[in-house]
Amino acid sequence: MSQTPYIFDVTASNFEQLVLENSFHKPVLVDFWAEWCAPCKALMPVLAKITEEYQGELLLAKVNCDIEQEVVARFGVRSLPTVVLFKDGQPVDGFAGAQPEAAIRALLEPHVQQPA
C-alpha cells in the first residue's frame, strides 16, 4: 500500500502527534492490522479508497500490530483488523473485523464532513 498525504504508518513514538494531535483538526481512522491477517488485507483497499475520496477531511493511520505492541496494548486491541475513529484526541467509534464499504461509510457519516 503506497503512502499518501492522507494515509500513513504510525508507531508508538509518533502516535501522539500523528493520531491524537491530528484528530483535533480532522477525524483520524486508525487501522490495526498485521501482514499475516487476510481480512486486514481485504479491508485496507476499502479504507484507502474511502480516505482518498474524503480528500483530506479524513486521515488513515495504519498500525502494524506485529511491530507496534505498545500501541496495541494501550488500546486493548484483541482481534484484527480493528479500526478505531479518533476525534478531539479520543476514540469515538470503531469496529472489529472486515466490514463492507457501506457499513464503514455509515460509521463515518456523523463524524466526517462529506467530500464535495
Mind telling me the catalytic residues?
Answer: 37, 40
Query: How far, in Å, CA of 8 to CA of 62, rounded?
Result: 6
The SS3 of residue 72 is helix
CB 59 within 8 A of CB 26: yes
Dig out the grid coordinates for 39 from the structure. Answer: 481480512
Amino acid identity of residue 61, one-letter, is: A
